[in-house]
Every structure is written in structure tokens, then in C-alpha cells.
Amino acid sequence: GLKKWVEVGNSGVFRPELLLPMGLPDNVTVIAWGLSLERPTMIKYGINNIRELVGHRVNLQMVYDSPLCRLDV
């Protein structure tokens, strides 16, 4: 329905410097994956910067006014 490619599943390897503060050894590799529902939500609501959707820059009024993200509307 969006007429473009959208990332809905992503994965990656954590960088070693992010793992060191957690007390993990240098030789440990950590991978992660998820649904990445942020990307379609950003497209739906015209948000260009992911930090405006998650984190300290979130417009709480948008969250209160739009409790659901429906791509079929």
C-alpha cells in the first residue's frame, strides 16, 4: 500500500565498544534482530528522524492523539 520498499525486519552485530560497559569480554559477538515497526510508523506519520519517534525528543501529544498506527487507513 505504500508503493515503496519498507524495512520491517532488521538485524545487526553490536559494536565491541558498546559491549565493554556491560562487562562482556572482547571476544564476544552479540547479534540482534527485530521487527522494526518504527520505519512504517515514521512513513505513516511523516517523521523523518527516528529520534522524534523514540527517545527524549518524542512529541508526547502525538502519542496521546495517535495511540494506534494503522497502515490501511
Of 70, 1, 72, 4, nearest to 37 by C-alpha is 70
Q: What percent of the chain has pLDDT over 70?
A: 82
Whether 2 is covered by a domain: the verdict is: no
Kindly report, residue by residue over 28-58, the tens digit of the pLDDT: 888 888 777 787 778 878 888 888 888 787 8
Domain count of the chain? Answer: 1
Asked if the structure places residue 73 within a domain, the reply is no
**Which residue segment(s) compose the domain that 42 sits in?**
10-65
Domain annotation covers residue 1: no
Percent helix / strand / coil, the chain, rounded to 5: 35, 10, 55
Q: Quick check: is 22 in a domain?
A: yes
Is residue 69 scored above 60 in pLDDT?
Answer: no
Does residue 4 belong to any structural domain of this protein?
no
